[in-house]
Amino acid sequence: MTGTRAPGGETIIGSRYNGPPGSGNGGWTAGTFAALLDGGTTVPSAQVTLRTPPPLETPLSVRTAGEGISVHAPDGTLVAEAIPVPVALEPIPPVSFAEAEAISLGFPGFTAHPFPTCFVCGPERAPGDGLRMFPGRTAGGETATPFTVPDDVSAATVWAALDCPGGWSVEVEARPYVLGRVSTHVAAVPEPGSRCVVMGRRLVTEGRKASVAVTLYDPAGTALAWSRATWIAIAGT
């Protein structure tokens, strides 16, 4: 089941779109919630804060909260909040698609991955099921990954594609992190089948929190979407 708006002001994150086992991938989930702003009209820029791991295949209630929305589990637990916000581009110069392919061969998650079935970057996902984006690290410490756009691409897919390339700039193989808050601007959804490149950069790390920036480029090198996110190390790691 896909992430969809269900009758009665509800939404569901399908089991396909997991990050850690049993919960939604942060980027896909955030993009699904952002799409519910303004009565379901696609909002190009939004900020989503995840308050608890988003459950899968569970009807989540969507409520108006000021200028945004809040999303709640059946027991009333606050899962997330979303608001429309402008998101400025923090450009990360792209590499070519061929260079991104070469860099991705060094993806640390091939040997040490905290969530190997992740919808976005899980190496255990079959082609055509997960996005299979494998961010390797450049000599400058940024991440780069090729992204061949799936046929069923949507704005939520773009949010997902901007997720893990940021996380892997924080060396999650050594200390697992999960997405806490993300602000994303989608200028355009890439064409199905197009060969894009996604670049990630760690901005600052403070205690358990890391701030990252990510940019998605089309084959011509035009920035189609970008985000800034806060990742949080899992307690006890």
Share of the chain above pLDDT 70, in %: 93
- Determine the Cα angle at 40 with ends 117 and 79, to 5°: 50
Q: Tens digits of per-residue pLDDT, 161-194?
A: 999 999 999 988 989 999 999 999 999 999 999 9
Q: What is the mean pLDDT of residues 40-53?
A: 84
Residue 4 reports pLDDT greater than 70: no
Model pLDDT, residue 171: 86
Model pLDDT, residue 1: 34
Residue 103 reports pLDDT greater than 60: yes
Residue 7 reports pLDDT greater than 50: no
Q: Tens digits of per-residue pLDDT, 12-27?
A: 999 999 999 999 999 9
On average, the pLDDT of the chain sits at 93
Model pLDDT, residue 42: 58
Q: What is the mean pLDDT of residues 105-122?
A: 97
Q: What is the mean pLDDT of residues 35-45?
A: 72
Model pLDDT, residue 2: 42
Q: What is the mean pLDDT of residues 189-210?
A: 96
Q: Which domains does the chain have, with CATH numbers?
A: 4-84 (3.10.129.10), 97-233 (3.10.129.10)
